[in-house]
Structure 1
Amino acid sequence: MRQVALLVAVVCVLAAPVVAAADPTSGQAARTLDLQESPDQEGVDITIQLQPDGDARWNISARYALETANDSAAFARLAEQFKAGETNTGFSVGVFESVVSSVSDEVGRPMQIRATNPRTAKTIDHGNNSTGVLSIQFTWTNFSRVEGERFVVDSFTGTWFGDLEPGQTLTIQPPSGFEPEQVRPEATVVNGGYQWTGPQNFESGQPSVVFTDDGLQEQPFATSLLTLLGVGALALVVGGILVWAYQYSGDAGRSSTDDQLPNNSSSPNGGTTPEAAATAGSSDDSASGGGAAVDSELLSDEERVEQLLADNGGRMKQAKIVDETRWSNAKVSQLLSSMADDGRVEKLRIGRENLISLPGEGVNDEEHADE
């Protein structure tokens, strides 16, 4: 099992601060007695948060079990010494600074260690017990290779990192919106990150991870705004089409109902309606001429108007056509104007009404002009 600079330093995290605090030359017997009962060492957690630009933010934390008042007092003193840099220097950012140059040469990218607040300490309460945590934080630039929409974690090249001992964990967190394409060796998913727990042996160049964009990353505000505007415009168009279709289907439904009314041969009380009689007469005329009655549902709007005119002696008032067809005034007016332009009907204005007739039925005769 290989064990090199980094993990040797991590072991120092667990031991060196306690040794440094229990200084036998201090002459303070009570303080030395308290520190001899040092907190139990629970382990070390290493978390690497990858950034979109390829940098990585490292956090390395040593955990101490604080089960007694003496443990808590000892850890409080250790924490102050640790933050002040008065403990063993093995647990420091300098350990990583010593290897970054060789890793940079291996991967062919410029790298450096940036540490703005490298040492922190805190106590986490768990009911009757607590855990003391000493941490170092720093940023390792260009830790990952960025290839368009792929992140390749290749900086564990060689054997500089070593293996994980019992009680140690390593977690790699991908940038937001990225999913794993390759993870070696196999890892456990913990809170969106990929974690290895000691004891864990790594081969040369491991751990190795490749992340890819899952296509769900947050879009820039301008892009999102354009997308929303596009969706809104599309919704308006679709809404307009649906309204038009509804209105058109309503007109068609009313027309279909009205088409059937003149063709009914009987009234509700069993008699023959005037419309049915007129239709029968027309059918007789067609039959005598060798023709056959035409189903009104198969006629166009223009043909239906012509049929109505024929059934009513060749002439009808425009308002009557509206009543018979159940179409809107606007539709009937537009349809009759078009038919008049085509010579299929004739229109005569009488007072405030229009009289519509088939060509040759005398709408333009003086006798109708006098009506």
Structure 2
Amino acid sequence: MRCRVPILLCALLLASAPVLGAVPVAGQPQADGTHFEAQLQADGDAAWNVTLSVPIGTDSDRDAFEAFADRFEAGEADLELGVDAFERAAGEASAASGREMSITSVSRHSEVVTDPDSGETYGVLRVSFTWESFARIDDEDTLYVDDAFNTTDGTWLPGLGSDQSLTILAPPGYGGPTTSPIGADGGDLRWEGPTTFEPGYFDIVYHPSGAGPATNGISSPLVAGALLLSGAALLVGLYLLFGRQRGDETREPPEAGDADSDGGTAGEPTDAAAESATPEKDGANADPDTGADEPNPELLSDEERVEYLLERNGGRMKQATIVKETGWSNAKVSQLLSSMDDEDRVDKLRIGRENLISLPGEGVGELGEEP
């Protein structure tokens, strides 16, 4: 690899050599951790987030961070691993693959937050953008992640530093990767530094959920058989239903005044029957603390369950706590929260190696102890 490759991206270090080096940016605070996240889309685009956490220990640290953050949000200053670096990477990948790629929909965000566990204060810098045509798609909607990491000299991502990580999230409507260099967790792939990547390392393939080479619509014998069984089950169900209705119609109704076995009058519910017939709110139980009806989690969507948990916990929680409360996998919760963040249903903020989640307008930057 010739010397121009190390200036393609950010100053990520392995040992003493830059693996994705970039020209240093004057005034940028020293990052304590960097996380790259690529949310793949069904059309081949990828929504990228690059998040830096900067420790703030003194008032002068905070002043320096806020001064740079103002310039950063105004677009007057970029990061070493910012938009300019990724635009160069996309240009190199376009030249190597023969596919036109570009960086669009750029946004920048900064915030000062306090870790609720350690009490340490961090400045957070995040740049978000869309890498168009990041993945290849064939006629069967199979999605390939490979040549977007290539250049004519190798790869623009030779590795990650010890304080950096990379996550590639599965596209909506797709299962886990059928081909990948590492095992997937809930369809998602995650790397923690330090690590190195050889050219051609990112050979990742996704198929649409439920799709496969042996399934071709109703022409498939398996699908046709399933349709026949479903039709037969429907006919049996209709037969039993109408048969029961005919039986009810021919049964003579009890005469008024006849007593039932419990001493009650026919047609009038006994005390026990009346008690059992008392209507309750479907799917709700009384909260022992507030007396309010608590929804049945089984009747809520995943997104509604997360929102309910946040409301019960003062509007903000750590991602790890959501994983514990729901019993879901880390990957499922991470993908779900990223999707809700994109839809502005929650705010997702990374601090060091942990994500803080809040309902919109709850003010993540004012976090104290988690409720």
TM-score scaled by length of structure 1: 0.49
Structure with the bigger percentage of helix? 1
Larger relative contact order (Cα-Cα within 8 Å, sequence gap ≥ 6): 2
